[in-house]
Amino acid sequence: MRYAVLFGPPNSGKSTLFNRLTGQNTSVVNYPGSTVDVTFACLKDHSSVTFAATPFIDFIDGAFTMLGHGVAKHIPSGLFQNFIVNGLIAGFSGIIVFVPQIALLFLGMSVMEATGFLARSAVLIDKPLSKIGLNGRSFVPLLSGCACAIPAILATRTISNRRVRMLTMLAIPLMQCAARLPVFGLLLGALFSSPIHGAIGLTAIYLGSICLAALTVGITNRFSFKNDDSSNEFMIQLPKWRWPLWGELIRTMLKRTKAFITGAGPIIFIISLVLWGISEIHIGSSPLIYIIGQWIEPVFKPMGVDWRVGVALILSFAAREVFVSALAVVFQLSEDAAFSLTNLTMTDSVTPIFSTGTIIELILFFMVAMQCAETYAVLKKEMASAKWPNLILIGYILLAYVLAVLANTFI
């Protein structure tokens, strides 16, 4: 049995596409308001529906693997060959491999903006957002936070009300950005064997983060801005429904993708080189990464993980995607890391590290903790103060740590 999930605005062709995939003749009648229709069927010709970016990701991964093997044949074995193949080429691959899914995500958001869908969504969501101190103008930055927090924070400049803008920026780090998808994919792949269960788990992560953001913003608005009586009115001009100009959409997608690569890319590349360096440099008979890990291990013991996972968590604060490559380095994992996580054990025992409880606590940790160092830098610039960014950084990390410890204790 293969599963497909089709979603989109009414009359956008979902039923037609479903019938083409399954060979059925299903019809859905749309009425005013929100409608949901669920239909199950086998895909004809044993076809499968996968994420659109997967073929591009596989191609890029295979190309860099071949490049690494080719370069290794022409360089004598040793530290220099290791640096070129496992340092430079692997580090650059870690940047490029994320480009397809990020580009498609930006393209989807650009389509919604160009058709007028986002403006109407902002009007519809204004009322529920007003209950926690936000308004409709917060919708686009919050939605953008699901792609990347940096442009989302910059998008809050359109919010004239200072209180609403501060609260929106407070919520954006809790939105699950695209950089976290490789981490969630790795952890959910180890937690569930069924793709449909993994999809449900990812949906639960997004819904949980929305609830947590709403709770955080509501409490902050009630106690930190209780003396702020500024108006929370929302006005916006609705554009006409229109077909998008695909040339403009492609240019917007390329511009946003380039901004993401130039922003996060150098950090990921540098961290990859640092990872290579601390794993290859030895002090005495011990690798430098082992010495660092032993020093920080007491902090992560309450989470039920050893120093290797601790090193990966710390390095991931530079860029969330680094967690995956860091695990591959410290555990010397194969390319099929998602299927071997459950076989890894603690350094001083045969106790599995990535048990069900550990995987859930790591998911909770990544849901809540500050997204990356660049997010903090942009928050500090846009808030024109170090007070709120510092509170957000420390508060979210402590909350993530407490939730992870509680999950390790009770699951």
- CA gyration radius for the chain? 23
Residue 4 in this model has a pLDDT that exceeds 60:
no
Neighbours of 296 (CB within 10 A): 13
Taking each helix axis as running N to C, give the angle between helix 307-315 and helix 322-331, from 0 to 180 degrees, rounded to the nearest 10. 150
pLDDT of residue 253: 83
Instruction: Identify residue 117 by its one-letter amino acid code.
Output: F
- The pLDDT score that the predictor gives to residue 1 is 44
Kindly report, residue by residue over 116-152, the tens digit of the pLDDT.
777 777 788 888 888 888 988 888 889 888 877 877 8
The answer on pLDDT for 9 being more than 70 is no
Percentage of the chain exceeding pLDDT 90? 13
Residue labelled with tokens 């009300």: 161
Asked whether the CA dihedral 169, 174, 175, 180 is positive or negative, the reply is: positive
* Structure confidence at residue 2 as a pLDDT band (50, 70, 90): very low
Q: For residue 34, what are the contacts with CB-CB under 8 A and spacing of at least 6? A: none
Note if the pTM is more than 0.75. Answer: no
Q: How many CB atoms lie within 10 A of CB 374?
A: 17
pLDDT digit string (tens) for 70-99? 888 888 888 888 888 878 887 787 678 767
Q: What is the mean pLDDT of residues 222-229?
A: 73
Residues 324-353 pLDDT 10s: 877 877 776 654 444 467 777 777 777 788
Q: Which of 198-212, 292-306, 312-326 has the highest mean pLDDT?
A: 198-212
- Whether 263 shows a pLDDT value over 50: the answer reads yes
Predicted confidence band of residue 169 (pLDDT cuts 50, 70, 90): very high
Least confidently predicted of 278-292, 307-321, 328-342, 378-392: 328-342
User: Distance (Å, rounded) from C-alpha 372 to C-alpha 366?
Assistant: 11
Lowest mean pLDDT among 23-37, 158-172, 272-286, 289-303: 23-37
Measured CA to CA, the distance from residue 324 to residue 61 in angstroms comes to: 14
Give the chain's mean pLDDT: 77
How many whole angstroms from its chain centre is CA 5? Answer: 20
Whole-number pLDDT of residue 362: 93
Confidence of residue 264 (pLDDT cuts 50, 70, 90): low
